[in-house]
Amino acid sequence: MKVSLNLIRKYVDLPEDLTDEQIAYDMTLRTVEVEKVENTAQKFHDIVVGKILEIKEHPNADKLRICMVDVGEAEPIQIVCGGSNLYVGEYVVVSKIGAEVVWHGQGEPVKIAKTKMRGEISYGMICASSEVYLSDFFPNEGESEIVDLKGFDCKPGDSVADLFGMNDTVLEIDNKSLSNRPDLWGHYGIARELSAIYDAPLKELPQYDIPKVPAYNVEIKDTTKCNRYIAVEIDGIDVRKSPIWMQSVLSKTGQRPINAIVDITNYVMYAVGQPLHAFDKTHVSGEKIIVRNAKENEELLLLDNNSIKLTPDDLVICDESDAMGLAGIRGGKKDSILPDTKGIVLEVANFSADAIRKTGKRFAEKTDAAIRYEKGIDTQRVKEGADLALRLIKEIFPDSKIIKYTDVYPNETKKNKIKVSEEFLDTRLGKKISQEKIEQILTALGYEISLNNGVYDVVVPTWRSTGDVTIKDDVMGDIARILSFDSFEAKPITITFEHSIKQNDVLLERRIKEYLAERCGFYEIYTYPWIEEKYIYAAGINMDKSLKLATPPAPDLAYLRSSLIPGMLEAISKNLRYYDTFRLFDYEEVFEKGDYRPSSEDEILPIQKNYLTGCIVGKEAKEIFYEAKGVIENMARYCHMEDIKLEKIERPNWADIHAYLNITKNNEIIGSLGLVSVKVMTDSKIKRTNVAMFEINADKLIPYASRTNTYERLPELPLVEKDLSIIVDEEVTWKAIEESIESKVKEIEFVDEYRGNQIPDGKKSITLKVRILNEGTTMTSEQINEKMNSILKVLDKKCGAKLREE
Amino acid sequence: MKEKLEEIKVKGLKKIENAKTIAELEEVRKELTGKKSELSGILKSMKSFSPEEKKTIGMQTTEIKKSFENKLQLKEEEIIASMSVLEEPIDLTLPGKKVNGGALHPITQMKYDLNDAFLSLGFEVYNEDDISSEKYAFDNLNFAKNHPARQSMDTYWLEGTEDKEGAERLCLRPHLTGGSVRYLLKHGAPARFVYPGEVYRNETTDARHERAFFQYEALIVDKDISFSSGMVMIQTILEKVFGRKIKTRMREGFFPFTEPGYEIDMECLVCGGKGCKVCNHNGWIEVMPGGVIHPNVLKSAGLDPEEWTGFYINIGLDRLVMMRYGVDDVRLFHSGDLRFLKQFK
C-alpha cells in the first residue's frame, strides 16, 4: 500500500520538525515496516509550466518546429519540438536544461542538455505526459501530442510538481505486513497510529447530513454474509474527470484516475479503507438491489463480455433479473459507469471476511476491495465511507441530488471488552508504565479505558474488534509497540543451575559430522528432500513406501527421499565436472510410510529417520573401497559410540556384486558399505571413475555417555616386531589368517597384499607384521625364532601358508 | 726429541684444522691419538730413556694429547654446527603438502556456533522431524483457520492428505515453531531450548528465495519474564557469531503465535548501516522475528497462560551465513557444489 503523507496530514497534524524519514522510521518501529520513502516532487525538478509565444518552421526538418517559450524567466527560451498539437498561446510542460525525463515514456530517465537538433539549438524540451510522469492525468493523449495545460490555473515558470500535487512524500508498505490490521488499509487508520505515536490529535472524519428521501429498495437474503448495506440513488452525475487534487492522490497511491465517480469510490477506499461500488442506476432493473447467494450454474457477465461461473457459495449483488456483481470482489458488465451515465446507485456495504475470502480464492488476482474485506472491516466504517463519498460527490457535482437512501444493517460490529490488570502489564512489560501514559496511548488508538481497583476495563474500538484485538496480551502489545520495543531496557536472563545439559544423541551427531569432515576429509552437503526420479530409479530404490508431495516443485520432484543415496548420486555426477577425487557426506532425515506418533495419539506421521551417507570418489576401486571401510571401522572409536560391525549379508541394490558389506549392530543390519555398481553409475551418468559409498541409519548409533575406554599399562618390556611375507591360495581371507594366529601374538597388523611375477597363479602374497612378547622376561633370539617358527607352522596348518622366499 | 714432539703437535693441530667432515675428523683422530699414532710410538719407545727424560717427554706427550683432544672437540662442534640434514639446499618456494581435511557445511558451522552460544546460556537442543501436520504446524500455533499459509500455494502438503484437516493433513514443516509445542508437551515448563532445522515453502526460487532453507529457533518459557530479555539474548548471539557487538533494533512485527510479536533487525554489515543494495538502502537487515509466546500456543502445549509466559526468537540461518561470508545466492546451500563448499574450512 502506498501512503501519501499529504493526505495523512489532512487527518492529523504531525509535528513540524519531523523529517519524512523519521516518520517512516517511527512507523517502522511501532506500527508497520515502511519499505520505501519516495519524495514524489524529486523527479519533477526543473520541470515547469511554459507558454508558447511564437512558432517557426524548422528550416531542415518537416516535423519539427522552433518555439519561443516563456518559462517565467527574463527572456523566453528557444525549444525545438515535434509535437503535433502546438499552438501559440498554449500552456505546456517544459523540461529545462538539467531536468530528467523519460524519452518517449520508455527506459531510464535522461538528463536534458542544450542540444542542436538539425542545426537549431534547443534549450529544453516541451514534453508529452509519459515523458514527465503525468500519463495518469492525460490517458487520452495521442501519439506525438504534448501536454496541453488548457484549463489549468497556472502561469509560466510554475512548478509542474505543485500543479499536479506532487510535492508529497509517499511511504510504501508491504501489504503482507498489514494483513493482521484491517484498520490500516486506509490513510485514516495510518493517521490514527501516527496520532498515537506523536501524541498529536486525530481529526474527525466529516459527516454528511442525509436529506429526507424515500428508501431505496434493498433486500439482504443472506445476513450471515452481508452485515450492512447502504444504497444511495443519486441523480445529476456524468463521467466528467475528477479534480486534479483527487487524481493526484490516486496517481500517487497507485491507482489510475478514470472518471469522477470511479475516482471517488477509489479515493474513499484509500482514505478510510471502506470499499464502495457505483452502479449506473438505469442498469438496475426493477430499482431493487438483492444481496443473495448465487444459484447453481449462474453466470456473471463481465465488462469484457467474458463471463464467470458462480457457485452457491458466492454472494452476488443482483437486481430483479440477474447478477450485477460479485459482492465485495468485482463488478460485472451491468454495473459499469458509461459515458451516458446520468445517475448512479452507490453501494457502501460490509460483507463478512470469510465469504469474500472463500470466493476470492478462486480468482488469481485480488481486487483492492477483496483484499480489504478479507481482513474483516467493522460495520461502522460503512457510514464513514458513505458520508465521505456523498460529500465528495456534492463537491464535484454541485447539481447532483440524492433521490433515495437506505441503510440495511442486520449485524453490527460489537466492541470487544477486555480486563487488563496493572500487575499483568508491569510483569510482562518488565517495567511500570504510568496510568496516564497507558491511557494516553490507548485513547489515541481509539480504546475506551478506565482503571478500577488495579484493573483496566478496556473497550476495544470497533475497527480493532473484528478479530485483531481479543485478549489482554493484544492490549499489552499495543502499549509496548507504541512505546517502542526499543525503548525497553534489555533485562538480563537469569540462569538457575539445576543440572548440566548433556544430550548425548545431539553430541553424537556432531562428533560423527566432525569426524567425517575433520579427520576423514569429507565435505558435508545438504540435499533437497524431494528427489529427481531418475536418481531414485538409478539407485534401485523401491518406492512402495515412498511419500509424495501433492504440489511438488516440479513434476519429476514429487517423491520424498527414503534414502540419501539418490541425492548423493546427483551430487557426485554434478561435481565430476570439476573434480575427479572427492569425498562427500549428507546427514539428514529420510521418510517412509508408516505409523509414528511423536507428540500425540491423534497425529500419525510417516516414519522419519536420520540417515548418514557418504561417498569416496576416485579411480582405484579397490583402494577407495578400503578407504571407505576404514572410515566406518574407525567411526565407533573416534566418535565414542557403541561398536558397529561389518558383515556380508545382503547386497544393497546400488552396490557392486562383489564389493559390499552390511553395517550391523547387535545382529541387526543398520546400513551398508560398498562400491557403487556399474549399472547404477551408468544410470546416474557417473563416468570414468569409481565410487565407494556407505549409508547408515544414524538413529541406530548409540553414543557413549562419556569417553569409556580404560587405560592400558605400558608394557615393561619392549615388544618384538617381525614382518612376515607368506604365500597363500587366493581364497584364503585375511580374517582366516588373523584368526589362525591370534592367540600366539600380542598384535597383528596387515601390511600388504601382492600378486605378481614371483607368485604362482591362484596364489597371493600377504605381508603382515606381528608383535610378540614373553611375559616377564626379555626374549632371546632363540626364543624369538622358536616363536616365529611356531607361528609359521600354525599358518601352514590352518591356511596352507608358506613363507615367501626372498 | 723435544723438537720432534713440537713438530708432531704443530702438524697434528693443522690436520685437525683441515678436517672438513666428521668422517675425516675421525680419521685424523685415529691417526693422532690412536694406538698406531706417532705419539703412541714415542711412548712405547720411552723404555730406553732416562727417568729424567721419561718425565719431561711424558709430560710433553700428555700435554700434546690433551691439546689434540681439545682441538678435536672444538673442531667436531664446529663441523656439526655447520652441517645440514640435506644433501642439497631445497626450493623453499615449492608449496607445502596439502592438509587433507574436508569441512562441515557453512550452515552446520553456523548452527554449531549458535549451539555453543545457547548451551552456555543453559539451553537444550531439540530436533523436530521434517514432516509435521497441520495441527502442529498451524492449529496449535494460533494460525487462523483460513490463513493463506495453509494453502498448497504456500505449504508442501503430502499427497493423499492435502484435503484432510488437522492432525491428518501432513506437510513438510513450513517453519520450526511447531516443534516448540512438541517439546513443551514432552518436557513441560519451565523450559529453554533451541530447535534448529530445515523448513520448506512452496515458492519460486531466485538468488534470495529458496524452497528449502534453514532456521534456528529458540524459546524460553518461564514465570514472570519480560519480553525485553529477548533483546539481551539476541545481542549475545550476534556478538558470538560475528565476533563483535552488532547494532540491533527491535520493531513491531506480527505472527499468529506471538503477542506481541517483533522483528529484530541488525545493522547491515555490507555497508555498515549506511544503506546499500543488500539492505534495500535502509541500513538494516531483518534477521530475527520473535515475540512473546501467544497464550493460545501455551494452551496447545498444555500450559496455563496465566502462569507461564516466554518468548521466541527465530534466526534465519541462511541469511546469517550469507551475511557472514557475503554469499549472494541462497541456492548455493543446497547445490552440493564443492567449488562452493571448499571455501568454508
A:515-544 residues touching chain B, CB 8 A cutoff? 516-518, 520-529
Instruction: Give yes or no for B103 touching A (CB within 8 A).
Output: yes
Q: Give the A window 220-279 contacts with B, CB below 8 Å.
A: none
| A750-763 average pLDDT score | 90
Cell match 697434528: residue?
Answer: B12
Q: Each residue of B89-116: pLDDT tens digit? A: 999 999 999 888 899 999 999 999 999 9
Residue B120 has pLDDT above 90, yes or no: no
Q: What is the mean pLDDT of residues B198-227?
A: 90
B 118-147: CB under 8 A from A: 119, 121-125, 127, 129-133, 135-136, 144, 146
The H or E element containing residue A732 is none
A42-163 adopts what CATH topology? OB fold (Dihydrolipoamide Acetyltransferase, E2P) (2.40.50)
DSSP string, B234-249: HHHHHHHHHSS---EE
Which residues of chain A are in CATH 3.50.40.10 domains? 217-408
**Model pLDDT, residue A248:** 96
Q: How confident is the model at residue A337 (pLDDT cuts 50, 70, 90)?
A: confident
ipTM: 0.88
Question: Which residues make up the CATH 3.30.930.10 domain(s) of chain A?
Answer: 504-700
* CA gap B32, B38 in Å, rounded: 7
* Cα dist from A531 to A548, A554, A563, A566, whole Å: 10, 10, 10, 7
Distance from CA of A755 to the nearest CA of B (A): 30
Taking every pair of C-alpha atoms in chain B, what is the biggest distance, in angstroms?
129
Which of A29, A473, A550 is nearest residue B252 as measured by Cβ atoms? A29
Question: Residue A525 has which C-alpha cell?
Answer: 552437503
CA–CA–CA angle A442, A445, A449 (5° rounding): 35
| Per-chain mean pLDDT for chain B | 90
Enumerate the domain spans of chain B: 2-81, 106-341
Q: How far apart are CA B97 and CA B92, in angstroms?
A: 12
Say if pTM beats, i.e. exceeds, 0.90: no
Class of CATH domain A418-487: alpha beta
B183 part of contact set with chain A, CB < 8 Å: no
**CA-only gyration radius of chain A, Å:** 42
A523 closest CB neighbour out of B103, B123, B170: B103
Q: What percent of chain A has pLDDT over 70?
A: 99
Determine the pLDDT at residue A597.
96
d(CA B306, CA B117) in angstroms, rounded, equals: 30
| pLDDT tens digits, one per residue of A390-417 | 999 999 999 999 999 999 999 999 999 9
Query: Per CATH, is B106-341 categorized as 1.10.3720.10?
Result: no
A448 reaches B (C-beta below 8 A): no
Question: What part of A 31-70 touches B (C-beta under 8 Å)?
Answer: 31-33, 35
Give the pLDDT of residue A520: 96
Average pLDDT for residues B112-136, to the nearest whole number? Answer: 93
Q: Where in chain A is the domain with CATH 2.40.50.140?
A: 42-163
What's the mean pLDDT when you consider all of chain A?
93
Percent of chain A with pLDDT over 90: 80
Mean pLDDT, residues B278-299 taken together:
87
**B251 touches A: beta carbon within 8 Å:** yes
* Contacting residues of B for A474, CB less than 8 Å apart: 259
CATH no. of A720-803:
3.30.70.380
CB contact under 8 A, B334 and A528: yes
Q: Is the pLDDT of residue A447 over 70?
A: yes
Residue ranges, comma separated, of all CATH 3.30.56.10 domains in chain A are 2-40+168-198, 418-487
Instruction: Give B299's pLDDT tier (boundaries 50, 70, 90).
Output: very high
| Residues A653-700 pLDDT 10s | 999 999 999 999 999 999 999 999 999 999 999 999 999 999 999 999
- CA pair distance B308, B183, nearest whole angstrom: 15
At residue A806, the pLDDT reads 64
The overall longest dimension of chain A from CA atoms, in Å, is: 131
What CATH number is given for A217-408 in this structure?
3.50.40.10
How confident is residue B320, by pLDDT bands cut at 50, 70 and 90?
confident
The pLDDT, as a whole number, for residue B242 is 82
User: Which tens digit of pLDDT belongs to each residue from B39-90?
Assistant: 888 878 877 788 888 888 888 888 998 999 999 999 999 999 998 899 899 9
Q: Do A550 and B152 touch (CB under 8 A)?
A: yes
Query: Would you state the pLDDT for residue B237?
Result: 81
Could A428 and B227 be called an inter-chain contact, meaning their C-beta atoms sit closer than 8 Å? Answer: yes
Distance CA(A691)–CA(A618), nearest Å, equals 6
- Where b means 16+ CB within 10 Å and e means fewer, A288-315 reads ebbbbbbeeebebebeeeeebebeeebb
- Judge whether residue A41 has pLDDT over 90: yes
Interface test with A, best of B123, B150, B251 (most A CBs within 10 A): B251
**What are the tens digits of pLDDT across the range A368-377?**
999 999 999 9
pLDDT tens readout for residues A201-257: 999 999 999 999 999 999 999 999 999 999 999 999 999 999 999 999 999 999 999
**Contacts of A406 by beta carbon, 8 Å cutoff, 6+ apart:** A215, A216, A217, A218, A229, A230, A231, A232
> Dihedrals φ, ψ of A417, to 5°?
-120, 130
> Which residue would you say has higher pLDDT here, A394 or A139?
A394
Considering the segment(s) A504-700 as one domain, its CATH architecture is 2-Layer Sandwich (3.30)
- The fold adopted by the segment(s) A2-40+168-198 is Phenylalanyl-tRNA Synthetase; Chain B, domain 1 (3.30.56)
| Residues A507, A703 contacting (CB under 8 angstroms) | yes
Determine the Cα–Cα distance for residues B248 and B236; give it in Å rounded to an integer: 11
Q: Out of B121, B131, B338, name the one closest to residue A606 (CB).
A: B131
CA–CA dist A640, A642 (Å, integer)? 7
Which of B127, B166, B172 is nearest residue A529 as measured by Cβ atoms?
A: B172
Q: What is the mean pLDDT of residues A376-397?
A: 96
